[in-house]
Amino acid sequence: MNQNQECLICGSHLEYLQHDQLMKCSICGREENSRTRCINGHYVCNECHINGIDAIINICMNESSRDPIYILDRIMSQDFCHMHGPEHHVITGAALLTAYKNSGGNIDLEAALREMIKRGSEVPGGICGFWGACGAGISAGIFTAIISDSTPLTIEPFRLANSMTSKALASIAKVGGPRCCKRDSFLSILAAVEFVKEKFNVEMKLETHEVTCTYSRKNNQCIGTRCPFFRFRKSE
């Protein structure tokens, strides 16, 4: 199978539809509405795409790093995490929760991770182009909502959660498309590190001053030197 796989079944390219269609998952048989499918007709539902829940919790609960980029990279290197997909709507926030806890944040990490997984899993794949809100950016907002105990009726936590999402989305929008789940996750985390230091007085630590992406050769839509994390940009 092509290492730049898009379809998890056959490796072929995906196509995005302008309207929902009822799709049947090629793995579990579940039916759900979606606008994404393989050009050969295959479809993988959101639940089957996010199949590493136990691994996410295990990695995060046994991690001592204060660096959310390092933690994110550890999770993204696992077999269950693909080049693109709704798993990034979970793991962006999970990496932030872990680094926040390890940096002195006052949370029950396991409970927070399970809540992150629950909420992030409800954000479907492909919404970056259809909703105008990338799931990685939303994941940073969910992280903030969790650590601040935000609800629709709170005042300051509500403001903080929405402010975080807006900052993450602004960073993503500045670079532009097409989508890259790795790039957008990195951008969301970098925005969150600054935001949390300012608003929560918790300083997560980035172990390197320059984040570099190691996934570009696996991304059929990599934007190359337009990406701030493009590994080979200095040599080109």
The full DSSP string for 6-18 is -STTT-PPEEEEE
CB 191 within 8 A of CB 168: yes
Three-class secondary structure of residue 188 per DSSP: helix
Q: For tokens 């269950």, what's the residue?
A: 80
The pair of three-digit structure tokens given for residue 206, joined into one six-digit string:
């980035």
Residue 232, pLDDT score: 62
User: What burial letters (b/e) apply to 108-131, b meaning 16+ CB within 10 Å?
Assistant: ebeebbebbbebbbebbbbbbeee
Name the residue type at position 180: C
Residue 32, pLDDT score: 82
Three-class secondary structure of residue 22 per DSSP: strand
Three-class secondary structure of residue 189 per DSSP: helix
**Which residues of the chain carry a pLDDT beneath 50?**
1-4, 233-236
Query: What would the pLDDT profile of 44-73 be if each residue is shown by its tens digit?
Result: 877 777 777 889 999 999 999 999 999 999
